[in-house]
């Protein structure tokens, strides 16, 4: 286990004209990350992902909880933990004036890497940055900046890498490209903890994940395990009276949910249940405007655990 965290909590207090405000950002999070795996923390905006990662990276002190990271105690041995990890923040700082090569070489020196120039060269090549390594940071595209930020966190080849929303704002091609790089790192033994609010990223990239909402873990497992929990298929229906339709179909389904006027019906075997669902609606004179049949997704897991859809939180781009 490279990360074994239990009961992490963090409350922020801020003062403004309206008085003192407190936010319980993280309300008791536990995470177990195995060596060499890609572990995802999936959740909507404000769920507590960044706060959790910052606590694990020793950047802010938890109010409660314990963690052992790379064999070191979070509270007693923060310096040893810092040596074992690379951290790429959500904003991912790339300097405007300096070139990627200068920044990455500087980071290598700061980490005490023996041959900083060679290490910088290697990591710049691996992230396809060799051709643009000597241009000022401000001339880089968003995707290139993101890759430089990750190179900065990796130049000292840490066994553990924290990536806070590494692909936010990237186009699908750049995102897939970065996934490949992250997979390569994992294959070579680097453990990766990343946060994301992209369902498909969590599904495609992570070996295991924790779904967080309002500062707590609401579900944890491999993407396949999580989807198996809600299991089977989802029939999504749009119609005038979803509430009455839900009541009509409930006896034929494992579960039904109405969310923003859309009815989701969870069944084990969608293809064979569909005709009887349609018949029941017809008997009640409920008129459909659309219907679709899909395998359960991580969003269905999120919906089942929190009562709302992650897509509807505005998280999914
Ligand atoms: N320094 C701070 N002072 C006050 N409140 C804070 C502070 N940092 C975070 N918060 C609050 O804590 C909650 C959790 O924030 P956090 O940044 O951990 O969420 P997140 O899951 O990373 O969200 P996002 O997907 O938007 O990055 C939010 O309500 C946020 O406003
Ligand atoms: Mg965040």
Please indicate, yes or no, whether residues 260 and 123 belong to a single structural domain of this protein.
Answer: no
Q: So what's the pLDDT on residue 270?
A: 86
242 C-alpha vs ligand 2 centroid, how far in Å? 35
Residues 217 and 239 in one domain: no
Residue 189 lies in a domain: yes
pLDDT tens by residue, 163-221: 999 998 788 888 898 999 999 999 999 999 999 988 889 999 999 999 999 999 999 99
Mean predicted lDDT score pLDDT of the chain: 91
Nearest residue (CA) to ligand 1, atom 12: 25
Which residues does a 6 A CB cutoff place in the pocket of ligand 1?
Answer: 12, 14, 23, 25, 43, 45-51, 90, 197
56 domain-assigned:
yes
For a mutational test of ligand 1's pocket, the pick from 11, 14, 22, 23, i.e. the residue with the most ligand atoms closer than 8 A to its C-beta, is: 23
pLDDT, position 317: 40
Residue 24 CA to residue 13 CA, distance in Å, equals 9
pLDDT of residue 231: 66
For ligand 2, the distance from its centroid to the CA atom of residue 292, given in whole angstroms, is 33
Distance 165 CA to ligand 1 centre (A): 13
CB atoms within 10 A of CB 79: 8
Please check whether residues 137 and 10 belong to one and the same domain: yes
Tell how far the Cα of 57 is from the centroid of ligand 2, in angstroms: 14
Q: What is the pLDDT of residues 218-254, one digit of tens each?
A: 999 999 888 877 768 889 999 999 999 999 999 999 8
Quote the longest CA-to-CA distance of the chain.
76
Average pLDDT over residues 7-24: 92
**pLDDT exceeds 60 at position 316:** no
The CATH code of the domain that includes 191 is 3.40.50.300
Task: Identify the CA nearest to 136 among candidates 103, 89, 90.
Answer: 103
Whole-structure pTM value: 0.84
Q: Which residue range forms the structural domain that includes residue 254? A: 232-295
Residue 309 lies in a domain: no
- Rounded to the nearest angstrom, the distance between the alpha carbon of 51 and the centre of ligand 1 is 6
**68 with 189, same domain?**
yes
| Ligand 1 atom at shortest distance from the alpha carbon of 53 | 18
In the reported structure, the alpha carbon of residue 25 is separated from the centroid of ligand 1 by a whole-number distance in angstroms of: 6
Residue 311 lies in a domain: no
pLDDT, tens digit (0-9, with 9 covering 90-100), for 251-267: 999 889 898 889 999 88
Q: Does the residue 312 lie in any domain?
A: no
User: What local confidence, expressed as pLDDT, does residue 308 receive?
Assistant: 81
Per-residue model confidence as pLDDT tens digits over 109-160:
998 899 999 999 999 998 889 999 999 999 998 888 989 999 999 999 999 9
Which residue's CA is minimally distant from atom 5 of ligand 1? 12
In a domain, 285, yes or no: yes
Residue 315 — very low, low, confident or very high, per pLDDT cuts 50/70/90? low
The pLDDT of residue 183: 95
Residue 308 in any domain: the answer is: no
Is 29:3 a contact under the CB 8 Å cutoff?
A: no
Give CA angle at 293 (287, 295), nearest 5°.
Answer: 150
Same domain? For 54 and 87 the reply is yes
Residue 314's pLDDT is: 56
Q: Decide if 277 is inside a domain.
A: yes
Q: For the segment 78-107, what is each residue's pLDDT rounded down to a tens digit? A: 999 999 999 998 877 788 899 999 999 999
- Closest-lying ligand 1 atom to the alpha carbon of residue 44: 25
Distance 294 CA to ligand 1 centre (A): 33
**For 56-61, what is the mean pLDDT?**
96
Calculate how far, in angstroms, residue 15's C-alpha sits from the geometric centre of ligand 1: 15
Nearest-atom index, ligand 1, CA of 10: 12
CA 76 – CA 62 distance, rounded (Å): 12
Residues 61 and 165 in one domain: yes
166: burial class by Cβ within 10 Å (0-12, 13-18, 19+)? buried
Residues 206 and 281 in one domain: no
Percentage of residues of the chain with pLDDT beyond 90: 68
Q: Are residues 204 and 265 in the same domain?
A: no
Ligand 1 pocket mutation, candidates 18, 25, 40, criterion most atoms within 8 A of CB: 25
Query: How sure is the predictor about 71, in pLDDT bands with cuts at 50, 70 and 90?
Result: very high
Residues 192 and 252 in one domain: no
Same domain, 248 and 216: no
Residue nearest (by alpha carbon) to ligand 1 atom 3: 12
Best mutation site among 42, 46, 63 for ligand 1 pocket (most ligand atoms within 8 Å of CB): 46
Query: Which of 113, 67, 63 is CA-nearest to residue 86?
Result: 113
Q: Which atom of ligand 1 is nearest to the CA of 13?
A: 4
Pairing of strands 216-221, 72-73: unpaired
- Supply the residue whose CA is at minimum distance from atom 29 of ligand 1: 46
Domain boundary among 189, 222, 255: 222
C-alpha 104/C-alpha 88 separation (Å) is: 13
User: Domain ends where: 178, 200, 222?
Assistant: 222
Q: How many domains does the chain have?
A: 2
- pLDDT confidence of residue 17: 85
């Amino acid at each position: 286990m490279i990360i074994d965290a239990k009961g992490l909590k963090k409350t922020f207090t801020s003062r403004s004209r309206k008085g003192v405000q407190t936010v319980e950002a993280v309300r008791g999070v536990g995470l177990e990350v195995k060596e060499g795996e890609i572990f995802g923390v999936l959740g909507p905006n404000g769920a507590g992902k960044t706060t959790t990662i910052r606590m694990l990276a020793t950047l802010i002190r938890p109010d409660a909880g314990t963690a052992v990271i790379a064999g070191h105690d979070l509270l007693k041995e923060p310096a040893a933990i810092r040596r074992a990890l690379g951290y790429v923040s959500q904003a991912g700082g790339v300097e405007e004036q300096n070139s990627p090569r200068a920044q990455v070489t500087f980071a290598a020196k700061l980490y005490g890497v023996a041959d900083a120039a060679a290490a910088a060269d290697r990591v710049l090549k691996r992230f396809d940055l060799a051709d643009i390594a000597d241009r000022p940071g401000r001339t880089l595209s968003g995707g290139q900046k993101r890759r430089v930020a990750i190179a900065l966190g990796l130049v000292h080849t840490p066994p553990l890498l924290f990536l806070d929303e590494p692909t936010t704002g990237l186009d699908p091609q750049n995102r897939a490209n970065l996934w490949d790089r992250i997979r390569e790192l994992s294959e070579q033994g680097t453990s990766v903890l990343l946060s994301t609010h992209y369902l498909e990223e969590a599904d495609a990239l992570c070996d295991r994940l924790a779904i967080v909402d309002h500062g707590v873990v609401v579900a944890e497992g491999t993407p396949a395990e999580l989807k198996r929990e809600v299991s089977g298929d989802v029939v999504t229906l749009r119609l005038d009276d979803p509430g009455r339709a839900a009541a009509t179909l409930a006896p034929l389904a494992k579960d039904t949910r109405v969310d923003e006027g859309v009815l989701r019906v969870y069944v084990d075997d969608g293809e064979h249940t569909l005709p009887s669902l349609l018949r029941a609606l017809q008997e009640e004179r409920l008129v459909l405007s659309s219907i679709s049949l899909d395998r359960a997704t991580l969003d269905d897991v999120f919906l089942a655990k929190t009562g709302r859809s992650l897509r509807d939180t505005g998280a999914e781009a």
